[in-house]
A = this chain, B = another copy of it.
């Protein structure tokens, strides 16, 4: 876990921002990325914890970007019914978001440089902080495609209303949303500042529906990262899709030409699930039972029957009496591509704790965030298998759920949502 290591030099800042602009320029020149198989060109670059991540490019940042340490996620209801006003807000958001990802204020000299007689255009709490690898990722929820904005015909078939899964106990106040913004950064104050300033720009047009702070990443999205641990104490995301798996990403995560409406080509579908973990009950389970439920050794993270964390999972190894070493109801078996007709997803979740539950326990768990090419063929069958059979279900409770269409990244001069509204 490495974090901001001091102020970013202007030289380094502009060097990286310049590189980002160059990538965007190339993409725009190549016909806005639309005509080739997507996802083969954006290798991750390991970043200094305080550095900036390019905002523009073929795909939105914050998906295969090496997962930052902290997250603040927000879902908005759109409160205006005026399409032009919504589009104008998305343009303003884009400008502000791009600035903030370079460590600048939302608006030039916004915090203290304007008129004393006007409210500051930036709220100021990130004034002294570097970019901190901030990424801002926008998504559009199913409810946006109702009658208000004339978007019904553009709703992607893949952007389904997620089905009810067994044992779901979803709180509507933690679910859904017309729009979302995922802010990830190595300094949480930078992520919170970004969300807050977007909410401020959106005043009168959008209202915060729910938000979630994630204090620690539970996934690696690049082989340059070590595997973090979730609140069950296990390494999480060992077998996650990673930025380097470009062929798999094209097959399983990036929406390809012809998959659905053209405006989503190069994007991905994001599912969020707020998963309360009953850690107090978990902590009373014997080590062997915990390991059997997960299907991995707690210390090394190795699949049961193997030695090292990254050894391939072998679902067919049997122990004494012919009993499978990885149980029929083990998490890794049910979530394995082998059990799911080969489908894979990219996970990008965070540990959370939200105070107490009022009956003597911490309210803590995993804010699950995943990206896939089509939630009907990827997330839904995976989640159904887990909800129906996963031994872990005894220890978790899904309390929030949302689904968003996350378009491709922006070319030069483009704004968030342009492929949808433009």
A interface vs B, CB < 8 Å?
Answer: 1-6, 49, 69-70, 72, 74, 77, 79, 111-112, 114-120, 122-129, 173-174, 186-189, 192, 195-196, 199-200, 203, 207-213, 215-216, 226, 228-234, 279-280, 283-288, 290-291, 297-299, 351, 353-356, 358-362, 364
CB A394 to nearest CB in B, in angstroms, measures 15
CB A129 to nearest CB in B, in angstroms, measures 6
CB atoms of A298 and B120 under 8 A apart: yes
When distances are taken between beta carbons in the complex, the residues of chain B under 8 Å from A231 are: 123, 125, 192, 196
Pick the most buried of A118, A124, A207, A291: most chain B CB atoms within 10 A of its CB.
A124
User: Looking at the complex, which one of B234, B285, B362 makes contact with A119 (CB distance below 8 Å)?
Assistant: B285
CB A50 to nearest CB in B, in angstroms, measures 9
User: Looking at the complex, which one of B114, B203, B216, B286 makes contact with A116 (CB distance below 8 Å)?
Assistant: B286
Can you sample 6 A-B contacts with CB below 8 Å?
A111-B299, A115-B287, A119-B285, A125-B231, A200-B283, A207-B361
Q: Which single residue of chain B is at the shortest CB-CB distance from A290?
A: B120
When distances are taken between beta carbons in the complex, the residues of chain B under 8 Å from A200 are: 280, 283
When distances are taken between beta carbons in the complex, the residues of chain B under 8 Å from A361 are: 199, 207-208
With A125-B229, A200-B283 known as contacts, the answer to whether A70 contacts B215 (CB < 8 A) is: yes
Smallest CB-CB A-B distances: 4 pairs: A124-B233, A3-B3, A207-B360, A112-B299
CB atoms of B358 and A173 under 8 A apart: yes
CB A285 to nearest CB in B, in angstroms, measures 6
CB atoms of A233 and B125 under 8 A apart: yes
User: Looking at the complex, which one of B123, B195, B287 makes contact with A283 (CB distance below 8 Å)?
Assistant: B123
CB atoms of B226 and A128 under 8 A apart: yes
Q: Tell me how many chains of this kind the complex includes.
A: 2
User: Looking at the complex, which one of B3, B173, B291 makes contact with A1 (CB distance below 8 Å)?
Assistant: B3
CB atoms of B299 and A123 under 8 A apart: no
Q: Which single residue of chain B is at the shortest CB-CB distance from A112?
A: B299
When distances are taken between beta carbons in the complex, the residues of chain B under 8 Å from A228 are: 189
When distances are taken between beta carbons in the complex, the residues of chain B under 8 Å from A117 are: 286-288
Q: Which single residue of chain B is at the shortest CB-CB distance from A188?
A: B215
Q: Which single residue of chain B is at the shortest CB-CB distance from A174?
A: B355
CB A173 to nearest CB in B, in angstroms, measures 6
User: Looking at the complex, which one of B127, B211, B215, B283 makes contact with A229 (CB distance below 8 Å)?
Assistant: B127
Q: Which single residue of chain B is at the shortest CB-CB distance from A120?
A: B287
When distances are taken between beta carbons in the complex, the residues of chain B under 8 Å from A79 are: 360
Contacts A3-B5, A173-B356, A188-B216 aside, 4 further interface pairs with beta carbons under 8 A come to: A1-B189, A2-B5, A127-B229, A200-B283
CB atoms of A298 and B356 under 8 A apart: no
When distances are taken between beta carbons in the complex, the residues of chain B under 8 Å from A280 are: 199-200, 203
When distances are taken between beta carbons in the complex, the residues of chain B under 8 Å from A299 are: 111-112, 127
A115 to B285, CA, bound (A): 12
CB atoms of B129 and A1 under 8 A apart: yes
With A118-B287, A119-B283, A120-B233 known as contacts, the answer to whether A298 contacts B125 (CB < 8 A) is: no
Q: Which single residue of chain B is at the shortest CB-CB distance from A200?
A: B283
CB atoms of A209 and B356 under 8 A apart: yes
A186 to B297, CA, bound (A): 28
CB A68 to nearest CB in B, in angstroms, measures 12
A77 to B230, CA, bound (A): 27
A380 to B364, CA, bound (A): 34
A385 to B3, CA, bound (A): 39
CB atoms of B124 and A213 under 8 A apart: no
When distances are taken between beta carbons in the complex, the residues of chain B under 8 Å from A188 are: 70, 188, 215-216
Q: Which single residue of chain B is at the shortest CB-CB distance from A195?
A: B362
